[in-house]
A and B are shown apart, each in its own frame.
Chain A
Amino acid sequence: MRRLLFVVPALILAALIALFWRGLDPQRNPAAIPSALIGKKMAEIDLPGLGGRPGVKTSDFTGQITVLNFFASWCAPCRAEHPLIKSLRDVPGIRVVGITFKDAPADSLKYLAELGDPYQAIGTDNEGRAGIEFGLSGVPETYVIDKDGIIRYRLAQPLDPGRLEKELKPLLADLTK
Chain B
Amino acid sequence: MNLRVHIAALLTALGLGLGGLLLPQMAMAQTQVADEPLADTALEMRARALMKEVRCVVCQAQSIDESDAGIASDMRRLIRQQIAAGESDAAILKYLSDRYGDFVLFKPPLKAATALLWAGPFVLLAIGGLIIVFFFRRRPTATANALSSAELDRIHAALDAEGLPSPAPEATTPTERREATASTERRDA
Interface residues, chain A, with chain B CB atoms under 8 Å away: 31, 33-37, 43, 102, 127-129, 131-138
Contacts and interface: CB of A to CB of B under 8 A. Distances in A.
Interface in B81-131: 96-103
Best-buried of B70, B71, B101 by chain A (most CB within 10 Å)? B71
Contacts of A37: 99
Contacts of B75: 132
Contacts of A131: 71, 74
Nearest to A138: B58
Classify the secondary structure of A's interface with B: loop
Contacts of B58: 137-138
A33 B103 contact: yes
A132 B101 contact: no
A36 B99 CA distance: 6
B50 to A, nearest CB: 15
A137 B71 contact: yes
Contacts of A35: 101
A132 B101 CA distance: 12
B70 A34 contact: no
Contacts of B74: 127-129, 131-132
Contacts of B71: 128, 131-132, 136-138
A133 B99 contact: yes
A36 B100 contact: yes
